[in-house]
Structure 1
């Protein structure tokens, strides 16, 4: 059974505690409580799963790190709502954009981190042979996740009506759904191009690839 080195386990515990602290801070006085809950729900679900499986099915440090950053992005968006995150306003002014682009950071991460997760599962389970097919399937998984998330947003809009505006964060953009999926695609491709070799080394270090 693969195991993480003791130093990695310590960092993992520290990251988990930091994530819990950020979760509490983000939910202390969020802009909109329902929006916060919907945005951070993935963190609330995934964090206990990682704690329960870290001994039996430890992930690579790279993937754990990606999940930590992604969680931070989600919690910041939940605290302010994506259209009101201060970092997004700074980027909007710097780049001369017509809207706060922080939600695109979120969707980039929605492609970047799930790409690493899908790649890790496919390699460890030996579900696919050939690097080209691996990359193709990873991108397919990411786009499926992105499309599912957009369906969830659609369902929220139908169920909540105007109350879902903060969760949707379209800011009047009629092509928001398509651009969200495009940024997830960019994130997936970026992860594959930039981190595949490092990911392979860490998988070998775990003794699973």
Structure 2
């Protein structure tokens, strides 16, 4: 059920369950967020992603494994949007326990983007563009890295347009290299994702030969 992309939507209960859980979770976090304006800004991209996936479902269906990875990432992002990325309970715990000077949840989500989205990108490229072999691991990493760069550009645009709220949305927290670090973590997550997948597929080939 996690790998077959040809299951009809009505009988695809794992995907239906994920949609239901995400809708309930998103609705719950929409209630009294820490900063309503920042929540709206953070919520635009996930809504766009969900709409794209919904409208293209009949044209291209991802496997449930890909939908699960996207679901996990969207939940992580929604959590940050509710509390603001600088004020999550996770960061409050870090600051209280390890006396950290900045909030690190945004770094976690950037890493998670690379870790969780590279597999769906690879699935899209291998099935729609017939990508094979070595390049089926390298190009998805490049796509994910490009998406990270595009998001940083979007953040820059938001900072120019929205003033102080835009600066809070960017969340540099005094680090002039925050953008580069965020992109680097996304790249690291993507590389780890593809290395793990390559190892799993290699192990399967070895077992078949035996």
CA distance in 2, matches of 1:142, 1:98: 29
Corresponding position of 1:88: 91
Using the TM superposition, name which of 74-83 and 135-144 deviates more. 135-144
Corresponding residue SS for 2:125: helix
| Post-superposition offset of 1:190 | 1.7
TM-score of the pair, normalised by structure 2: 0.84
Mapped contact 2:114–2:188 kept (Cα < 8 A): yes
Is 1:166 aligned to 2:168, yes or no? yes
CA contact (8 A) 1:92 1:101 kept: no
Shift of 1:144: 0.7
What are the superposed Cα offsets for residues 131-160 of structure 1, whole Å, 9 maximum, x if unpaired?
Answer: 2x2222112111110110000011111111
CA pair 8-187 structure 1, distance change in 2 beyond 3 A: farther
Pair 1:11-2:14 in alignment: yes
TM-superposed deviation, 1:56: 4.2
After superposition, what is the alpha-carbon deviation per residue over 1:108-127, rounded to whole angstroms, capped at 9, x for unaligned?
Answer: 12212321121011110244
Q: Which runs of 5+ in 1 are unaligned?
A: 201-209
Structure 2 counterpart of 1:63: 66
Q: How many residues align?
A: 199
Q: 1:137 to 1:86 in 2, by over 3 A?
A: same
Structure 1 length-normalised TM: 0.84
Q: How many angstroms does 1:43 deviate by?
A: 2.0
Q: What CA distance in whole angstroms lies between the structure 1 residues aligned with 2:59 and 2:142?
A: 27
Runs of 4+ in 1 over 4 A off after TM superposition: 5-8, 92-96, 196-200
1:48 partnered with 2:51: yes
Q: 1:28 offset after TM fit, Å?
A: 1.2
**Is 1:21 equivalent to 2:9 in the alignment?**
no
Could you tell me whether the CA contact under 8 Å between 2:69 and 2:117 is conserved in 1? no
- Are the equivalent residues in 2 in contact too, given 1:83–1:169 (CA < 8 A)? yes
Higher RCO (C-alpha under 8 Å, 6+ residues apart): 1
1:149 aligns with 151
Residue aligning to 1:115: 118
Q: Do 1:3 and 1:55's aligned partners in 2 also have CA atoms closer than 8 Å?
A: no
